[in-house]
A = this chain, B = another copy of it.
Amino acid sequence: MAERKLILVCNDDGITAPGIRALIAVAKEFGDVVVVAPDKPQSAMGHAITINATLRVNPILMDGDTEYACSGTPVDCIKLAVNKILHRKPDLLVSGINHGSNASINVIYSGTMSAAMEGALERIPSIGFSLLDHSIDADFSAAQEVARKLIPMALEKGIPEGICLNVNIPNVTQELIKGIRICRQADANWEEEFDERKDPSGKTYFWLTGVFRNYDSGTDTDVWALEHNYVSVVPCKFDITAHDTLGTFKTWEQDV
């Protein structure tokens, strides 16, 4: 008899967020689930890890099962899960479902996707799921349906070593979703607008806000897919070398 699949679940919105609860419910349909997730919101933490402070992992009872709430970042959660909690390498890591988009440049700020990337580094097939709705009462049912299709597909087909998938789901009802598209990351950016305020003692402080700007008119991007009601799937890697520019810089070796 085949061993039951072992699925590790993480996120960045915190272990009690509706998005991770929705993902855990789906993951349990396909195997034994271990949840190791931040004990508080850790959005936009990127690939941060905790090296100048201590880490805690507290077993808690959630929906009838023991889960692990971690004091650190999403990447800390994966490192702790792999090294201190799990007894074997999981067959799959799923992260999310994030409250809000991780398409395009959001991927590099995202704690959800950094957890998936850390999984890829550990050579665990890994997927990050994000729904294009920030609100706490977002409807995750269509996103759950997407996870219900992609989780078994990843378990069966596998994901090439060192690659993780960045899956974003448009904020529409399930009937309106046209399918999935394999995409590249759109070349877009955030135009910051710092909200400048005065504290009660008259000193200036800032809130970071911004507007998303898409500079990319390609029809093969995640932003295009999402705008056209497709689920976007971008395979991601941790080698950020700009390989196509290595030749350009070669002369620097002599000129220095």
Contacts and interface: CB of A to CB of B under 8 A. Distances in A.
| Nearest 9 Cβ contacts at the A-B interface | A46-B47, A46-B46, A237-B242, A235-B242, A55-B206, A184-B241, A48-B48, A54-B205, A46-B48
Interface residues of A, number: 77
A108 B184 contact: no
Contacts of A153: 252, 255-256
B48 A256 contact: no
**Quick one: copies of this chain in the complex?**
2
A107 B240 CA distance: 8
Nearest to A107: B240
Interface of A: 41, 43-52, 54-57, 73, 75-76, 79-80, 82-84, 105, 107-109, 114, 117, 121-122, 149-150, 153, 157, 160, 162-163, 179-182, 184-185, 187, 189, 192-194, 196-197, 203-208, 233-243, 245-246, 248-250, 252-253, 255-256
Nearest to A247: B182
Contact of A233 (B43, B243, B252): B252
B46 A248 contact: no
Contacts of A249: 182, 233, 235
